[in-house]
């Protein structure tokens, strides 16, 4: 079976984890602080705060900017359900707007009409690593004095060009950016997340909220030469990352440039192979975006020889795992009672897109099997030479 993805971990991560275990400090501690500094440096942010997962990151970000009952947060339904869940768990209401059909990201032309007196924040998603149109979103947000929280769960290493300058996703452009280190992401700590910001007060709140609003951190208590008693300043959360996870994350972060280069090579091979096949639409990348290709999204139109679902089954029959297009929260039982307007592009994307295997250890031979299976489903002759044209093997 060729899986949809596979985390790339080796002896370096094993050694880092084992050294941490043997150190005697395994919960949030010095390794977490080290990982945070390295991540902030990579992203170009002043601050980075490690947390237990990206859902926690989103919820802490919303909580810290004051989102609560009666508020609205404008976002997209076309995202993993955690995006909507984080809003609801703050007591607020997600206001879904549709996506752009080319990028599967928030359509900024629909944003202004969704803003009301109850709008507290705007939450765009950088879907499967392709940056949303931040320049336009930020312009609207500033006009209405609204904070922007970026759901960058999939977007570590992606870049966006704003005012002629390439910026790393996570810098951040808005108030906050939130990342995931789930095994399906480009770098992984098993589970885990990171919040970046340039605002010292927000960073202070994240660090407070992630460990029960404890007035004195565990590291300060353990290193103190005097007896210290902590206080708990407000109802808060337990969203800490362990030092074991952070040790693995630091190693993974060092490998990120090579991971990105490999993923972009694999994506280019897919692009070349499918470019001329009727009924298939390869990813459309705006000239202002550089995605990390966390996933490879192939749209199957009515002109293709079989349906999207039939294609997925044919690939599975040949030992190739795929996934459908990104889910829509409003089509899930948890949100069916939430009133929202028509979201035709979101629904079409979910039902017409297939995600193909893409990960660093996917060999060219394995990718050729995927390409051949898709091409044969189209009833076209298989010619793998087109896939490798002008592409250096990873």
In this prediction, residue 131 has a pLDDT band, given cuts at 50, 70 and 90, of very high
pLDDT at site 391: 53
Backbone dihedral region for residue 284 (phi beyond 0: left; psi -120 to 50: alpha; all else: beta): beta
Of 245, 233, 176, 186, the closest CA to residue 209 belongs to: 233
Band the pLDDT of 355: cuts 50, 70, 90: very high
Question: If pLDDT is split at 50, 70 and 90, which confidence band does 383 have?
Answer: low
* Predicted local confidence at residue 228, as pLDDT: 82
pLDDT value, residue 387: 57
Query: Is the model's pLDDT at 334 over the cut of 90?
Result: yes
Please identify every residue annotated as catalytic: 185
- Domains of the chain listed by start with CATH number: 11-254 (3.40.640.10), 257-388 (3.90.1150.10)
The per-residue pLDDT for range 87-100, each reduced to its tens digit, is: 999 999 999 999 99
pLDDT at position 21 is: 97
The conformational region for residue 48 under phi > 0 = left, psi -120 to 50 = alpha, else beta, is beta
Full DSSP string of 239-281: -PPPHHHHHHHHHHHHTHHHHHHHHHHHHHHHHHHHTT-TTEE
Mean pLDDT, the chain, whole residue set: 95
The more confidently predicted of residues 177 and 222 is: 177
Reported as a single tens digit per residue, the pLDDT across 20-43 is 999 999 999 999 999 999 999 999
Residues 6+ apart with CB under 8 A from 210: 49, 51, 52, 56, 60, 236, 237, 238, 239, 240
Q: Residue 227: its pLDDT value, please?
A: 85
């Amino acid at each position: 079976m060729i899986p949809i993805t596979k985390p790339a971990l080796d002896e370096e991560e094993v050694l880092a984890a084992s050294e941490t275990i043997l150190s005697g400090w395994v919960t949030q501690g010095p390794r977490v602080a080290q990982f945070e500094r390295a991540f902030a440096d990579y992203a170009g942010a002043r601050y980075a705060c490690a947390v237990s997962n990206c859902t926690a990151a989103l919820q802490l970000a919303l909580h810290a900017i004051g989102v609560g009952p009666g508020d609205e947060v404008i976002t997209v339904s076309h995202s993993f359900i955690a995006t909507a869940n984080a809003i609801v768990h703050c007591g607020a209401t997600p206001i879904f707007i549709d996506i752009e059909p080319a990028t599967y990201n928030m359509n900024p032309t629909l944003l202004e009409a969704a803003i009301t007196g109850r709008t507290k924040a705007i939450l765009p998603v950088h879907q499967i690593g392709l940056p949303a149109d931040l320049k336009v979103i930020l312009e609207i947000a500033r006009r209405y004095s609204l904070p922007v929280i970026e759901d960058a769960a999939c977007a570590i290493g992606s870049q966006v060009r704003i005012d002629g300058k390439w910026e790393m996703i996570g810098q951040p452009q808005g108030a906050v950016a939130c990342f995931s280190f789930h095994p399906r992401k480009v770098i992984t700590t098993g589970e885990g997340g990171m919040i970046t910001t340039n605002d010292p007060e927000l960073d202070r709140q994240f660090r407070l909220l992630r460990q029960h609003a404890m007035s004195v951190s565990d590291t300060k208590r353990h290193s103190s030469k005097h007896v210290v008693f902590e206080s708990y300043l407000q109802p808060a959360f337990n969203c800490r990352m362990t030092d074991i996870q952070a040790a693995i994350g630091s190693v993974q972060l060092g490998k990120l440039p090579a991971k990105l280069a490999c993923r972009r090579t694999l994506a280019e091979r897919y692009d070349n192979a499918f470019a001329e096949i009727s009924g298939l639409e390869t990813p459309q990348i705006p000239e202002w975006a550089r995605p990390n290709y966390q996933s490879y999204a192939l749209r199957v139109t009515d002109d293709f020889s079989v349906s999207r679902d039939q294609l997925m089954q044919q690939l599975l029959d040949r030992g190739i795992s795929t996934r459908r297009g990104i889910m829509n929260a409003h089509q899930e039982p948890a949100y069916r009672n939430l009133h929202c307007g028509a979201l035709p592009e979101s629904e079409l994307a979910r039902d017409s897109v297939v995600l193909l295997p893409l990960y660093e250890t996917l060999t060219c031979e394995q990718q050729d099997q995927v390409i051949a299976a898709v091409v044969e489903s189209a009833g076209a002759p298989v010619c793998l030479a087109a896939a490798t044209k002008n592409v250096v093997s990873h």
